[in-house]
Structure 1
Amino acid sequence: MSNDNFAPSHLETLDRDLGRLSTLEQATAYVSRPMIGLGVGLLFVVFAALVAAVIFGHASNTLVVVIAAAFGAYMALNIGANDVANNMGPAVGANALTMGGAIAIAVVFESAGALIAGGDVVSTIAKGIIAPESMGASGAFVTAMMAALLASALWVNLATWIGAPVSTTHSVVGGVMGAGIAAAGFAAVSWGKMGAIAASWVISPLLGGMIAAGFLWFIKSNIVYKEDKIAAARRWVPVLVGIMGGAFATYLSVKGVKKIVKIEMTDALMIGLAAGLVIWLVMIPVVKRQSEGLENRNKSLKVLFGIPLIVSAALLSFAHGANDVANAVGPLAAIVQASTTGDFTHAFGIPMWVMIIGALGISFGLFLFGPKLIRMVGNQITKLNPMRAYCVALSAAITVIVASWLGLPVSSTHIAVGGVFGVGFFREWDAARRMRAARATIPKGHELAPEERVRRKLVRRSHFMTIIAAWLITVPAAALLSAGIFIVINGVMGTS
């Protein structure tokens, strides 16, 4: 063998070729990731359809249920990709949880919430949005629910693709409304119910934002801006964690365990008060021990909010699994009920196999497609740290409690994202206030230019406008899509 093959020029060429191969491998792996996710998602949809086929055997309505199960699995994947980000985003954005840790916690607690406390009895057509008697035959009802299920899933899929966290419950509501109108006309819709849902578009984010901003103001005033931050933290962090524990105890009593036991609001508030007092007393020595040796600066305070933030993310996931999963797979359960019994005018329960499809679909959707929206909520709207993320999580629990007490329909998505906006806009206001106070000490001619002040805004306006626009058009967009799908399915199947 000639030694010329090992000359420096040949080795340099070999290095370049190996570098190209390495770059090609990395590029191939990067491009193939979405394909792997799509492949696994498709396999899960097929699996759900096969489960339905095995359960229903050779019954005359098996094909309809199999198709509906596939649509339900697709919807569950999209819930995992979009909705769950609202619970995990703040904790990840604050670096209290890694992306892998957040996904693992969410998978466990979302599934537990769906299977243990989910599946509460729902009304025949998405909580009274459409009058059941207006649908006529069960065939038209089944077609409407299939259209609603597919349309809502497609809309959430599109929202996830553009990076907008939207309400899956509102998507289902829009889908049911659109299919109902296509099947039975505008008179079939309960417009009073739709008005209350429309009001929640405004109430949910505003209430969540105000509560989150209020707690951040309290933390800054009583801890962050104090000269001895550690002493202030020892006094107030146990109180804050106790408030969070009490709020979540009340929240879970009202919303999370209603399938197991029915608890009235007054009793739930007493449970929350007792839990809050116990947690406050327990946290006093814990925070004292955690704060020993910490430097008197803001960065040290983050340690004290880490564990409460992780616990809050887990509890929010459990409550979300218990409530929103049932809303999303409700149309599938309605199809199963109508297809097997012909009855669609009475309340029905959600079969366990349907809840399992919902729970597994959320887990797969979160694992495969969830990180994009988790980053959006956690990092890209405004910068979060554990204290700000704590305020977002606490506002989500308190807002749901207040809304339940007032009888208002609210969206957990809108509350959580509204809390992030509230924290961000409060930071902008607080920074502007402090800058005005310090302006007297700035030499003339050294003030910030207007363009620089705009650049330093702490909430990204582009994300803000995209998300608000997606919220506003979710119900009408899902309704139009559902009406179109209903017309197509009705034409293909010849349903009347």
Structure 2
Amino acid sequence: MDIETLNKLEKKALKKSGMDFTRLGVALFFAVAVLTFSFVSNGGIPNNMFLAIAALIGAYMAMNIGANDVANNVGPAVGSRAMTMTMAIIIAAIFEASGALIAGGDVVKTIKKGIIDISAFGGDADPFIWAMMAALLAAALWLNLATALRAPVSTTHSIVGGVMGAGIAAAGFSIVSWSTMGKIAASWVISPVLGGIIAAGFLFAIKKTIIFKSDQISAAKKYVPIYVAIMSWAFVTYLTLKGLKKIWPKVVETLNALPLISLPATDKPSFTTALIFGAIAAVIVYFIVSRRIKKKNLQNSKDAVNTLFTIPLIFSAALLSFAHGANDVANAVGPLAAISDAVVSGGVSSKAPIPLWVMAVGALGIAIGLMLYGPKLIKTVGAEITELNQVRAFSIAMAAAITVIIASQLGLPVSSTHIAIGGVFGVGFLREYLHITSKDKHIVAEDRELLEDEKATLNAYNAELDKLENKEEKSTGDYERIVDLYKLIAKEEEHLKSTKRHMKRIEKVQYVKRDTVKKIIAAWVITVPAAAIVAAVLFYAIKGIMI
């Protein structure tokens, strides 16, 4: 290696270490700022140091959510080159923070999904505070490790595991609702399978109606407005059900102030209301898209069709980020709000108000974590599982919204992370299936026939060789035939290997990287138990320090 190459490598290493140091510095500055603000602003409250430390852990958790979970919303769009990495980070950061601050709600459940019975704490605030701190820190540590390993995992499952482990350490196994944990375990299968099937289904439909047609542009002008309208229906329905449910009374009040609108006063949107909103949006979008596409002068190519899905992908990334911020900010601030309520009131409650500063910690933490460490996971989701283009990314985004809608109405437990990654798996495996064309299938059939003939010939040669070698008295002709048979067997074995290799090349084209899939699935399976074990250890450590 020459001196010039060594100098380039050294400069690259120094630049990378400098960037890593800057990222760490910004993250530490945010964490220390949160710690200081919490300590100063709550100075008159007993045990305010607990609250300040909890705020620090909450900030750490929020940054890890931003670094890991947000990649699922923008990764496919970036991988398909519908957006640049910078554009994706800016859009996601803005909409994640907006979703958290605007639609995150005023009250949060202190125990996510009711996985433990808080009555087991007997109203004693101290062990409850220790358990929530242990759960929050355990979930954050696990997310940090998963991000470092480039494994997209469920933040909800991380905090669920943390709460379960800390709860068991505090009050025994009876505190856990095992039926709820069973449903969560079921989501490890339900979420990716549903997401994969729906994403593959949409991709196959787009290929059949547009890509496989001889005149792709005419087909695109007919069908793209329909697909984008379906996407609009799905996303507006999804946003209404998930993104606005915590502020629905305020939304109803605002809409009822408009003429000709009268919505019933309810705590959260009904499925029918969400569907109506989605249908209205779908009709409007259909006419807008149809008019715009008719004016375009496009070449009859797959690339031209792909460009038609770019703008819908940008909108989908923004809406998914908004809904994610509104929902998953609770994973960061839920335990923090519970600790804040327990410190202030001195008791334990199933629901707790979210102070504005607590919600701001969650919103800003998610945005900062995304900007500092999000690109790693965005690259994994967008490019390291399978190659994506706009049509494939569009199918994944559709799966993300529709799967949540279906699952929520059927009462099935699902994870948005697992749905999105399952969608990526689905389109990748569909590509593998479609790779074997009718021509390829004919070749494979011919190869199989040839393989059987070669095996039969090889068996005949081996049988003749055994007969001659076992012959007691051999003539000169027998020895010559034995030599010929060895040569024929070697030649036939080589033909056999060649035919098998040819079949494997056609049948085993892999568009999905198996090593990445195995790593991600392994991370999913161990998320809950890993977070639970760490949380239990942390609870005993905190308890030992405090007693």
TM-score class normalised by the smaller sequence: over 0.9
Is 1:492 matched with 2:545? yes
Please name the residue that 1:96 is paired with: 82
Q: Distance in 1 between matches of 2:351 and 2:41?
A: 22
Which shows bigger deviation, 160-169 or 118-127?
118-127
Contact 1:395 1:419 in 2 (8 A): yes
2:159 maps to which residue?
Answer: 172
Give the match for residue 473 of structure 1: 526
Q: Tell me the SS of whatever aligns to 2:247.
A: coil
* Contact 2:139 2:155 (8 Å CA) reproduced: yes
CA offsets 1:393-445 (integer angstroms, 9 cap, x no match): 01100011111111222111001001000110111111125453463899988
**Aligned residue number for residue 106 of structure 1:** 92
- Provide, for residues 263-292 of structure 1, a one-character-per-residue CA deviation record: whole Å limited to 9, x for no partner: 1011111211221122112211111223x1
The answer to whether the Cα contact below 8 Å between 2:80 and 2:382 also exists between their aligned partners in 1 is: yes
Letter in 1 for 2:351: A
Aligned to 1:428: 432
What is the TM-score when the length of structure 1 is the normalising length? 0.92
Per-residue CA distance 1:110-162 (angstroms, 9 max, x = gap): 00000000135333322311111101311000000000000000000011111
Q: Is the 8 A contact 2:436 2:506 kept in 1?
A: no
Distance 1:307 1:328 in 2: 31
* Mapping of residues 1-16 of structure 1, within 5 Å: none
| 1:194 maps onto 2:181 in alignment | yes
Q: Is the 8 A contact 1:396 1:415 kept in 2?
A: yes
What does 1:427-466 align with in structure 2 at a 5 Å threshold? 427-434=431-438, 436-437=440-441, 439=443, 449-450=502-503, 452-453=505-506, 456-466=509-519
Amino acid paired to 1:472:
V
Give the distance between the partners of 1:493 and 1:435, measured in 2 at CA: 72
Counterpart-to-counterpart distance in 1, 2:407 and 2:4: 61
Residue 138 (structure 2) aligns with: 151
Q: Which residue of 2 aligns with 1:8?
A: none
Q: Does residue 348 of the first structure (1) align with residue 337 of the second (2)?
A: no
Q: 2:318 aligns with which of 310, 314, 317?
A: 314
3-state SS, counterpart of residue 343 of structure 1: coil
Query: Following the alignment from structure 1 to structure 2, what is the Cα–Cα distance between the partners of residues 178 and 26?
Result: 42
Secondary structure at 1:122 match in 2: strand
Find the aligned partners of 1:90 and 1:120 in 2 and give their Cα distance.
32
SS of residue paired to 2:309 = helix
Distance in 1, matches of 2:247 and 2:351, equals 18
Q: Write the letter of the residue equivalent to 1:483.
A: A
Q: Does 1:223 align with 2:210?
A: yes
Encode CA deviations 1:32-78: one digit per residue, 9 max, x unaligned. 21121112111111111111112201432110001000100000110
Aligned to 1:6: none
What amino acid sits opposite 1:91 in the alignment? Answer: A
Asked whether the equivalents of residues 64 and 366 of structure 2 are also in contact (C-alpha less than 8 Å), the reply is yes
277-286 or 426-435, which deviates more: 426-435
- The match for 1:264 is 270
Q: In the TM superposition, what is the alpha-carbon distance from 1:304 to its structure 2 partner?
A: 0.4
**CA offsets 1:342-376 (integer angstroms, 9 cap, x no match):** 22224222221111111111111111111110000
Q: Are positions 1:205 and 2:192 aligned together?
A: yes
One-letter amino acid of the counterpart of residue 370, structure 1: G
| AA matched with 2:524 | W
Counterpart code for 1:190:
S
How many angstroms apart in 1 are the aligned matches of 2:323 and 2:432? 31
Shift of 1:446: 8.4
1:384-399 correspondence runs (5 A): 384-399=388-403
Equivalent-residue separation in structure 2 for 1:92 and 1:202 (angstroms):
26
Q: Which runs of 5+ in 2 are unaligned?
A: 249-267, 451-497
Q: 2:295 aligns with which of 252, 266, 289?
A: 289
Aligned residue identity for 1:482? A
Amino acid paired to 1:331: P
Aligned CA distance change for structure 1 residues 403 and 441 (closer, same or farther; 3 Å): closer
Identical columns (%): 54
Whether 1:85 aligns to 2:71 is: yes
Looking at structure 2, the residues matched to 17 and 440 of structure 1 have their Cα atoms a distance apart, in angstroms, of: 52
User: Cα gap change, 1:301/1:341 in structure 2, threshold over 3 Å: closer, same or farther?
Assistant: same
Distance in structure 1 (CA, Å) of the matches to 2:439 and 2:165? 50
Q: Please give the per-residue CA displacement for 1:210-254, whole angstroms capped at 9, x wherever unaligned.
A: 000000010011100001000000000000000000101100110
Q: CA deviation at 1:447?
A: 8.7
The equivalent position to 1:133 in structure 2, one of 119, 127, 130, is 119
CA distance in 2, matches of 1:470, 1:24: 34
Opposite residue 295 of structure 2, the aligned amino acid is R
Matched, 1:367 2:371: yes
**Normalising by structure 2, what TM-score?**
0.84
Alpha-carbon displacement from aligned partner over 1:197-217 (angstroms, at most 9, x marks no partner): 111111111111100000001
Could you say which residue in structure 1 is the equivalent of 2:493?
none
Distance of 1:225 and 1:438 partners within structure 2: 20
Among 417, 420, 440, the residue aligned to 1:416: 420
Amino acid across the alignment from 1:449: H
Give the structure 1 partner of residue 304 of structure 2: 300
Q: Is the 8 A contact 2:131 2:163 kept in 1?
A: yes
Query: Structure 1 unaligned runs (5+)?
Result: 1-15
Q: 1:237 aligns with which of 214, 221, 224?
A: 224
Secondary structure of 2:386's match? coil
Quick check: 1:89–1:374 contact (8 Å CA) kept in 2?
yes
Bigger mean CA offset, 414-423 vs 262-271: 262-271
Which residue in 1 is equivalent to 2:405?
401
| Corresponding residue for residue 260 of structure 2 | none
Tell me the distance in 1 between the aligned counterparts of 2:524 and 2:436. Answer: 29
The alignment status of 1:73 with 2:79, answered yes or no, reads: no
Secondary structure at 1:221's aligned position in 2?
helix
Instruction: Single out whichever of 279-288 and 168-177 deviates more from structure 2.
Output: 279-288
Residue 293 of structure 2 aligns with an amino acid whose one-letter code is V
Separation (CA, whole Å) in 2 of partners of 1:216 and 1:442: 30
Residue type of the partner of 2:165? G
Higher radius of gyration, 1 or 2:
2
SS across alignment from 1:334 = helix
CA contact (8 A) 1:124 1:132 kept: no
For 2:280, the aligned partner's letter is: A
Distance in 2 between the 1:27 and 1:361 partners? 28
